[in-house]
Amino acid sequence: MFRVMVFPLLFAGLLTSSLATAQTPAAPANAADDPRFYSVSYIEVNPSSRSMTLTSLRQYRDAANKDASYIRIEFFEQADRSGHFVIAETWKTQAAFDARAVARKQLADAIQPMRTSDWDTRPYKALSVASGPAGTSSRTIVVITHVDVSPDPKVAPILTVLAKSSRLEEGNLRFDVLLHTMRANHFEVIEVWQSQKALDAHALAAHTRKYRDDLQPFLGSPLDERVFKAIE
């Protein structure tokens, strides 16, 4: 069962993009000047209700797509765990996201009879997010990690260096690091890889090993790292 948070229901969205065999890394946004608002929600539903849940999620996304401040909503399902979803939502500003509270309440009500966990939702801002397409498709491998550390200003630079180095790796399509808007010791990392081979190479890379070694003294709990597939 996922942890239950006490702030208003939040989410985030799917963008389908064609894969290129080679991709030039996009320049990351300057976090201090980036007004975009993100939310990441975890929800579990009865596997037999998976199709009905996805219908409700897609209806929410399609309605949000008409808003001028909408950027994207992505749906990810945990590999080998049917009905375990992450909903990642990106808006131009928090005010634009807040304005859709009624639509989110309608979505929550629609999924209520099907869920086996409560919504675990967290609000984020950019720490290191590259501009450009999201890079996800049904063929890519998505890794989402929740990083919970003891408060320390050394942690954010460790994650920023990891993101910059990882974007240069062959087969990396996206490497975003989000920072909790209210808790400076909580981060969300969203990685998209072109293949399992690329992900395996990343795990063995020197900068990845250094990141894990440098982060270890600050960890408040083990890294919550899970593999997902994008739902189109």
Torsion of Cα atoms, 115 then 228 then 94 then 103, to 10° = -30
State the residue for tokens 């909408």.
Answer: 70
Query: Of the candidates 138, 124, 141, 140, which has an alpha carbon nearest to the alpha carbon of residue 54?
Result: 138
Q: How many domains does the structure of the chain reveal? A: 1
Torsions phi, psi for 222 (to 5 deg): -55, 150
Residue-wise pLDDT for 28-67, tens only, equals 555 667 899 999 999 999 999 999 999 999 999 999 999 9
Residue 124 forms part of a structural domain: yes
- The CATH number of whichever domain residue 87 belongs to comes to 3.30.70.100
Spatial contact of 41 and 69, defined as CB atoms under 8 Å apart: no
Tell whether 11 is covered by a domain.
no
Cβ distance 63 to 14 under 8 Å? no
Residue 127 domain boundaries: 31-231
C-alpha R_g of the chain: 17
CA-to-CA distance for 211 and 222, rounded, in angstroms? 14
Section 63-80 average pLDDT: 96
Say whether pLDDT at 214 is over 90. Answer: yes
In a domain, 59, yes or no: yes
pLDDT digits (tens, 9 = 90+) for 108-144: 999 999 999 999 999 999 999 987 777 788 789 999 9
- From 116, 110, 181, 179, select the one nearest 149 (Cα to Cα): 179
pLDDT at 135: 78
